[in-house]
Each structure stands twice: as structure tokens, then as C-alpha cells.
Structure 1
Amino acid sequence: MTINNEANPPARHSNRREFLAAGAVAIGASSLASAASPAAETAKAAATAKSGMGSALSDRIYKSAKWSMIGEPGSVEEKFALMKRLGYDGMELESPIGLDPVEVRAATQATGMPVHGVVNMRHWEIRLSDPDPKVQAQAVEILEQCLQESAAFGGNSVLLVPGRVTGEKETHDQVWQRSIAGIRKTLPLASKLGVRILIENVWNGFCETPEQLRDYLDEIDSPWVGSYFDIGNVQKFSPSADWIKVLGKRIVKVDVKDWGVEAGFCKIGDGDVDWPAVREALREIGFTGWSTAEVSGGDAARLQDISQRMDKSLLASGSRSTHRPSGAS
């Protein structure tokens, strides 16, 4: 994940492996059940779409935001409560982040705001595609830590940028092969915890057509790996709706932002993304699940504006359904 696709700054590496490993067994069963429900919801949505019923996206797409977007001070619970008041259904955290999983779970219990997943905050700096095998191994360790933290927080996904095309030592083919090899090493843990690894499309020189991303995911060929589709990031290359139709059921979650030839990255609804076409494409593939704003955050007024823009652009609604998700799936 990156705001405006700039590399994330190095984050303080907090190794809480002992705590997370101790909680993994207790969390595993509930997380596996949580991870199964998006697929069931997707199948149900596809069936209702065929019959022409249940077509309101606001009834089956949940809204969240990235933790770093919250510019207001306060405890985890206070921030969760604020976001709920502003119209969000849940949160996406970052990893490694240094938050106490016990405090996060308590905040979810108190507010009804689930954590649906985490963003790997070190995937730009320490890449699976790095030419140095030692760095590749470190990237695998970090991804495994992210999987553990997501499960500990109650989430069911880790957003991952698989690498970056940088030159002759990190070509498109090398990013493809090295990242797949690294991801496959983490799949036993992902399946044990019930946490999916979701590949975000970004401006990293990799898979810049929907067919390439489709084939990349299909080569991995695992139910624990899918697409975290960023609606705004692809607009530079081709219409977002076209990507959605090609990727289809491989899309598990979506990032929400806008981009335009003249505006660059801008407020949701102010760029070149064809939102009606995006909504129709999401209906066609029967998408249901989490959408997460990935834009510059700020104070409560800014966060409320983002929430309202998501309603208008993505959900085509001025108000949300009263139904809220009961868990992180």
C-alpha cells in the first residue's frame, strides 16, 4: 500500500513473534471461519445479481480506511469510535505497527468496528524481488509477521506489493519468479491462520495490464492469494472497469482512490475514473466485501468528506444501509 504510490518510509521493526505465535493456535480456528465467509458472500451476491435482486452495492460493500489516515489524536478505541461515527464499517491497520492486539480486539469489541486486515509496510524497502537472497529471506520473514499480526488483530488479509522492477538485476520476469517463490514459502502459515495474501497493483513497473496480473495470480494458484484491486492506480494504464472484468473473482478487496491525466491523484470523484462503469463491473463479478480508502487523511472533517465521497462514487448512495458487518470478514 502506498498513498499516491510513493515508497513507504522505513518503519520501526517491532518483533513480537513470541506473543503472536502464542496466540496463533487460539486464533486459527476463528480466523479460518472468518476467511471462508467472503467466498460465501461472493457466491451469494453472484446468485442474487443473476436474478436481478440485491443489486445495491451499499448493502454488500463495506467501507474502511487506512489507520495512518486518521489525523485525530486518541486511543485505539477512541479512533475506532470516531471512524464509526463518520460512516465507516471497519479499519485496516498496518504491520509492523506496534499496537497491542489485546487493545485492538478490545476496541473492536467496544465499538463494533472490526479490523479486516493489515498492510505490509515494509514491502517497498525489503522486497521479495530483491536480487540479494538474504533480503528475499528477510522479506519472507516480514510477510509472515504481517500474517501473524493480521490474525492477532482479527483480520483476514495482508496487502502486499510483490516487488519492484528497477533494472537489469530486478526485471519484470525476476520480480515475477522471485516474488512467487517467496509467497509460496508463506502459504502454510497463511492457511493455518486463515489470512489471505492480497496483491496490490501499484506503479512498480510490474503487471501493468489486467491480463498480466490475472496470469500472475493464476500461476501462484492458491486460494490464499488474490487481488487487492486498487481502482485509482490502474487508471493511468487503462479503464478501471476493464481490469475488474478481467480479474473477476480474483478480486477479494478493493482500494478506493481516484486519478486523472490532469489532476493526478485527487479527491475521490474528481479524477478520470468512470465510477458508474466501476460499479457496474463490480456488480457483474458479484463482488462483495471490503473497500478501503487510500488517500491523504486528516482531521474529522476530512475523514467525513472521504466517507461521503466513497458513498457517492463507489456506492452511488448518499446514505448507507443500516446493516453493519459483525466480524472481520
Structure 2
Amino acid sequence: MHRRTVLKSAAAASVALAAQSLPNKAAAGQFTGKIKKAIKLHMATGNESVLEKFRMIRDIGFDGVEPRVKLGKENEALVRSYAEASEATGLPIHGVVHSSNPDLVGAIDQAKMLGANSVLHVVRYDRKISYLQNYEETKQIIRQAIGHAEKQGVMILCENVWASYLIEPMGMARFIDSFDSPMVGIYFDVGNVVRWGWPEHWLEVIGRRAKKLDIKEYDLTVAMNEGMREGFRKPLGEGSIEWDKVRAELAKIDYHGWATAEVKGGDRDRLVDIADQMDRVLDLV
């Protein structure tokens, strides 16, 4: 009996020692499994093929990608290569970027073909016409496409940009609510608002109207001394944005969805760095 007891104790000690030698499993972050990180496709620079870029983006650890809309017969082969690369690599195309092009129906169809569920739309600001006329005309562009968006299951998401239009959260919320449609929401750009306000204040107001996030940094000190656009130069987490407050507001609305980096791209090493920065500021690991 004594011999069996000694052997059992020795075995238990060996198991404990082996467990101590294993690397510690990384603890999950606050938004692990809730936020999926992506990049804009054009951020992957270089001469690699579309397929090679999709494969690289996937292998780095991004969950998806977002290309720009390319309409017209001359772009059919390129758009088809996006779809083929996504299928071959398993890297989803979660949305498409359409800027302020009024052809939302064409963008919605392209998004659907690529397996995406959103079109990023920039509400234009035409200074040659009155503010109220611009307001109604831009609403009409979106309103005319809502039925098609519902049919295709593709959201129209309006981004807050530097067009000096819809630059505060109450106005943006009212604009979105005027459509009374679940297919129209906000593509919230965290960095773009710092010129006029703070992202956590925007999130407090727009709440669950924020369907997707663009991720970039902004530094007010740099902007004030070197030029407004230079404020975007700082790496994520090293500027004026208080990311802990952003995360707190995202938690309040129980945000689940995509966060896409929109910063200066580059080669594989640069994209790895961006992925690491996103992990830190969004608490993904």
C-alpha cells in the first residue's frame, strides 16, 4: 500500500510539473468574440495578386476585408477576383466602400455578389446648393435605394466624414431616424469625430445605430501644430482618443460586429503592426 501511494504521489507531481511548463493560454479580452477586425483592401500594398493579398490578410489574423466598389464592365474581372479570392481563402468580404456615388443600387448589388452585408455611403455636401436642398436630396438618394437594400439584405451605412456636414451626433441620429428603416444605419468612424468632439460622446448618442466601426487614431496636438490631416499620423493608442472610454460605450450598447482599420497601409510587417494595435485599443486579446 505504501508503494502504491508513493507512485500515485509521484505521478501527480509529474502532471503538475508538466502543466507548469506549458505556456499560459492568452486571456480573452473584453471584446474577444464580439468584435471582428478587418482592413480596407487597398491598405495591402505591393504587387501581389488579389488572391495573395487575401491570403496574407487572413494569415496575419484579420477576420475580414472591405474593398472599394468598382462599377462598370471594365471592372467586372477585378470584382470577380475579389469573390474568387474570398471563396478560396475563406476570408469574408464584410462590406464595400462606395463613398458618395449616388448609384447605391449598383453598390448594393455588388455587395450582395461579394457576400457583403453593407455599403459604406458618404452623405455628400454640395456647397453650390442650399443646405436644406442638399439635406433633402441626399435623403432622397438613400430613400430610393432602401427597398432594394431590403430585398438584397444589404445595409446602407452612412459614415461621419470631414465634409462639414452631419458632424455632430444629434444631427446624424436624426438623419438616420428619418428613414425609419433597419437597413439604414451609421458606419461610425472613431477618429473622424475628434476634430469636433469625442467618440465616446458620439456613441452615447447614436447608440445601436452604429452598425460598423472604422478604426483610426487622431492627435489634436499634432493637428494644431502641423496641420489638421497630420493628426491621423499617430499609431492607434498613441493619440488623443481615450480608447477605454470608447470601449465602455461600446459595452453599454453591447456592440457585436465589424471594426475595420482605415489607416496608412503597407507590406506584411505594417499590417501585422496594425493588427496588434487594433488588438490593444479594442481589447481583443
Q: Do they fold alike, i.e. is TM over 0.5?
A: yes
Under a length normalisation based on structure 2, what TM-score does the superposition of the two structures give? 0.81
Q: How far apart are the structure 1 equivalents of 2:145 and 2:260?
A: 24
Work out which of the residue numbers 224, 232, 248 in structure 2 matches 1:265: 232
Work out which of the residue numbers 61, 65, 73 in structure 2 matches 1:91: 65
Work out which of the residue numbers 193, 197, 204 in structure 2 matches 1:234: 193
Q: How far apart are the structure 1 equivalents of 2:240 and 2:94?
A: 28
Structure 2 unaligned regions, length at least 5: 1-27, 223-230
For residues 186-241 of structure 1, what are the alpha-carbon distances to aligned partners after superposition, in whole Å with 9 as ceiling and x for unaligned?
11211111111000000111112111101110111111100000000011111101
Q: Partner of 2:161 in structure 1?
A: 202
Q: Contact 2:70/2:79 (CA < 8 Å) preserved in 1?
A: no
Question: Whose relative contact order is higher, 1 or 2, with alpha carbons under 8 Å and at least 6 apart?
Answer: 1
Letter in 1 for 2:113: A
Q: Partner of 1:70 in structure 2?
A: 44
Task: State the secondary structure of the residue aligned to 1:115.
Answer: coil
Q: How far apart are the structure 1 equivalents of 2:97 and 2:208?
A: 21
User: What is the deviation of 1:299?
Assistant: 1.0
User: What is the deviation of 1:102?
Assistant: 4.2
Task: State the secondary structure of the residue aligned to 1:234.
Answer: helix
Mean CA deviation greater in 202-211 or 261-270: 261-270
Q: How far apart are the structure 2 equivalents of 1:313 and 1:72?
A: 27
- Over 4 Å off, 4+ runs: 99-102
Work out which of the residue numbers 119, 124, 137 in structure 2 matches 1:158: 119
Are residues 1:291 and 2:269 paired?
no
User: What is the deviation of 1:55?
Assistant: 7.8
For residues 20-49 of structure 1, what are the alpha-carbon distances to aligned partners after superposition, in whole Å with 9 as ceiling and x for unaligned?
xxxxxxxxxxxxxxxxxxxxxxxxxxxxxx
When Rg is computed on C-alpha atoms for both structures, the one with the higher figure is 2
User: What is the deviation of 1:307?
Assistant: 0.9
Q: How does 1:26-175 map to 2 (within 5 A)?
A: 56-96=30-70, 98=75, 99-121=77-99, 123=100, 139=102, 142-166=103-127, 169-171=129-131, 173-175=132-134
Structure 1 unaligned regions, length at least 5: 1-53, 127-138, 320-329
Q: Kindly, what percent of the aligned residue pairs are identical?
A: 36
Under a length normalisation based on structure 1, what TM-score does the superposition of the two structures give? 0.71
Task: State the secondary structure of the residue aligned to 1:259.
Answer: coil
Task: State the secondary structure of the residue aligned to 1:64.
Answer: strand
Letter in 2 for 1:162: V
Q: Contact 1:236/1:260 (CA < 8 Å) preserved in 2?
A: no
User: What is the deviation of 1:301?
Assistant: 1.1
Q: Contact 1:244/1:281 (CA < 8 Å) preserved in 2?
A: yes
Task: State the secondary structure of the residue aligned to 2:218.
Answer: strand
Q: Contact 1:118/1:150 (CA < 8 Å) preserved in 2?
A: yes
